[in-house]
Amino acid sequence: MQKKVRWSTKAYDGYAIRDRLAPDETFSHVGPSTLAGEYLRRFWHPVAMSSQLDTGYPVAVQILCEPLVVFRDLSGRVGVLHRHCAHRRASLEFGRIEQQGIRCCYHGWHFDIDGTILDTPGEPQDSAIRHQICQGAYPAVEFKGLVFAYLGPPELKPKFPFLDSLQIEGHDLIPYSIHSPNNWLQETENAIDPFHSVFLHGRISGPQFPGLEHFVDLPVVVYRQREGGIVYAHARRTGDLVRLRFHDYLYPNLAQNGGMFQVMDRPKVFGRTSLTKWVTPLNDTESRKFGWRHFNDSDEVLRQGSREEVGWEKVDFYGQTAHRSYQERQSNPGDWDAWTSQGPMNVHDREYLGVTDKGVALLRSRLRQGIRAVSQGKNLDVLEGSENRPIPTFGGDTVLCLTKKSSGDAKFLESVVDSILDIHMLACRLGDPDRENFIKRKVCSKYPNSIQQ
């Protein structure tokens, strides 16, 4: 058998790598009974925006390669059902929404949101069909403008992953959703790769995000594993000012950034996230981001965010959609252009990872562990939260005033990131405002005068 050649190693030798290599099936295939497919089915995923249901018609979607319909019945309950009717497989996207559930257009079978059959009107009165089978159905939750579903084994259904960031005082969460013609992992990896910000959002075509112009400098980055995910932080110094930014990554596809449209030219502690987002796999080669922009007055002091620009296929910061001319995308490419251009399914065998890819490598190895565990029949410890005891998250920014060390400043910055992360993690089970006060106290005692103007 011909040996797989992964890289060209000589000048003018593209010929060596002319053959196509296959993507890594561990991650790329998300359909039923595939490795990643079964792993991903252990978590809640956003599957639609509430606004899509407001038309009064069912919405046809594909999630993890399964054709589904999502609808809100006339009593306000949300249903997520297999798209093809249990009778003779007409699509329920043409069904009629009822007070309770939905009725298939073809022969009128009537299904509740849990898939039970309420009526088979053409069958004899004493027909037992409705006690014999159900329409395929999944549990669903509608929350702050997004609809979530759980497509996994019913007996393993975790609680809805309620995050602490969903109830930050003064945050107004505006939902949005954007399609990408590529496998779910590509955009997911973008969120754990702080080095792309230096180049894509800074050096290549100039700063793209107001308030984050310092992204052009290479950061000091610390990754930390946490229950259910990874938290990482990066720091950059300008004079005596050290800007730290925290990111959340929760398995398998949830990320939170630091703040948008903020000013980071003076000390601040425990700024909060501007973005909570999931990358839902639609099938092997398409994904859809669902998330919320967090509008707030405390961190977004530049007031350059725009609620009107957030919604279906749009969000109010640079380079997140296909909706720019090709020329514009070439001259000033954004995130969407980068991850979609990796192809419908990125071929990892053709990549050549460096030190800037530490986060991506860590993420892949942790996902692999999860995928392996599920394939071996083990249970996953899936994060669960509730309004009273939400899942702690860390996405946000802190700016400290710290004199530059004449030697070993990079090491010093790393120790600063480490200790500030420690402090955040110590405080994570406290509720607001105790949490913020605790963090401030600890930062002041560790680095006296660091948060004075």
Position 90 contacts ligand FES (CB under 6 A): yes
Q: How many CB atoms lie within 10 A of CB 348?
A: 18
In the list Fe ion, ligand FES, none, the entry touching 90 (Cβ below 5 to 8 angstroms by class) is ligand FES
Tell whether residue 110 is a contact of ligand FES (CB under 6 A).
no
Q: How far is the CB of 108 from ligand FES (least distance, A)?
A: 6
Q: Report the residue number, 85 or 221, with the smaller CB distance to ligand FES.
A: 85
Rule CB under 5 A: is residue 193 a binding residue for Fe ion?
no
Locus of tokens 């005596």: 240
What's the closest the beta carbon of residue 23 comes to Fe ion, in angstroms? 22
**Nearer Cβ to Fe ion (201/424):** 201
Collapse the DSSP code of 126 into the 3-class scheme (helix H, G, I; strand E, B; otherwise coil) and give the result.
coil
Closest alpha carbon to 260 in 238, 278, 245, 241: 245
- Among Fe ion, ligand FES, none, partner that 85 touches (CB below 5 to 8 angstroms by kind): ligand FES
The Cα–Cα gap between 232 and 108 comes to 53
* Residue 299's binding partner out of Fe ion, ligand FES, none, with CB under 5 to 8 Å set by partner kind: none
CB burial string 44-66: b at 16+ within 10 A, e below = bbbbbbbebbeeeebbebebbbb
Between 164 and 335, name the residue whose CB sits nearer to Fe ion: 335
Position closest to Fe ion via CB: 335
Per-residue burial over 119-151, b if 16 or more Cβ lie within 10 Å, else e, is ebeeeeeeeeebeeebbbbbbbbbbebbbbbbb
Number of residues near ligand FES (by CB under 6 A): 9
Q: How far apart are CA 304 and CA 283, in angstroms?
A: 35
The smaller minimum CB distance to ligand FES, of residues 87 and 237, is found at: 87
Name which of ligand FES, Fe ion, none residue 104 binds, using a CB cut-off of 5 to 8 Å depending on partner kind.
ligand FES
Using CB under 6 A, pick the residue from 107, 130, 224, 368 that binds ligand FES. Answer: 107
Using CA atoms, how far apart are residues 270 and 435, in angstroms rounded to an integer? 9
Find out whether the peptide bond into 67 is cis, omega within 30 degrees of 0. no
Residue 21's CB is within 10 A of a number of other CB atoms, namely: 13
How far is it, in rounded angstroms, from Cα 71 to Cα 80?
7
Q: Please, what is the minimum distance in Å from the beta carbon of residue 297 to Fe ion?
A: 24
Tokens of 11: 């000048």
The residue among 12, 15, 93, 103 whose CA lies nearest residue 60 is 93
Applying CB under 6 A, the span of 104-112, 266-274, 305-313, 441-449 interacting with ligand FES comes to 104-112
User: Nearest approach, Cβ of 110 to ligand FES (angstroms)?
Assistant: 9
| Residues 14-53: x where in contact with ligand FES by CB under 6 A, - otherwise, as a string | ----------------------------------------
Is residue 335 involved in binding Fe ion (CB under 5 A)? yes
Piece in contact with Fe ion (CB under 5 A), picked from 79-87, 124-132, 327-335, 440-448: 327-335
Which one of the spans 24-32, 61-69, 86-94, 352-360 is the region binding ligand FES (CB under 6 A)? 86-94
Among the listed ranges 1-9, 106-114, 133-141, 148-156, the one in contact with ligand FES (CB under 6 A) is 106-114
The Cα 290–Cα 282 span in angstroms is 12
At 207, list the tokens: 């700063």
Q: What is the CB-side half-sphere exposure of residue 148 using CA atoms within 13 A? A: 22
How far, in Å, CA of 423 to CA of 375, rounded? 36
State which of residues 4, 88, 307, 389 lies at the interface with ligand FES (CB under 6 A). 88
Q: What are phi and psi of 214, to 5 degrees?
A: -70, -5
Task: Name every residue whose Cβ is closer than 8 Å to that of residue 386 and which is 6 or more positions away in sequence.
Answer: 159, 162
Select the binding partner of residue 335 from Fe ion, ligand FES, none (C-beta < 5 to 8 A, by kind).
Fe ion
Q: Which is nearer to ligand FES, 109 or 412 (CB)?
A: 109
Q: How far is the CB of 129 from ligand FES (least distance, A)?
A: 11
* Least CB distance to Fe ion at residue 200 (A): 6
Give the integer Cα–Cα distance in Å for 271 and 248.
14
The nearer residue to ligand FES, 80 or 174, going by C-beta atoms, is 80
- 3-state secondary structure (DSSP) of residue 288: strand
Examine residue 94 and tell whether it contacts ligand FES (CB under 6 A).
no
SS3 content of the chain, % helix, strand, coil (to 5): 25, 25, 45
CB 248 within 8 A of CB 256: yes
Q: Site for ligand FES (CB under 6 A): which residue of 106, 160, 438, 447? A: 106
- Interacting positions 46-85 with ligand FES (CB under 6 A): 85
- In the complex with ligand FES, the residue whose CB is nearer, 67 or 145, is 67
Structure tokens at 399: 């700016």
User: Which residues contact ligand FES by CB under 6 A?
Assistant: 85, 87-88, 90, 104, 106-109
User: Which residues contact Fe ion by CB under 5 A?
Assistant: 335
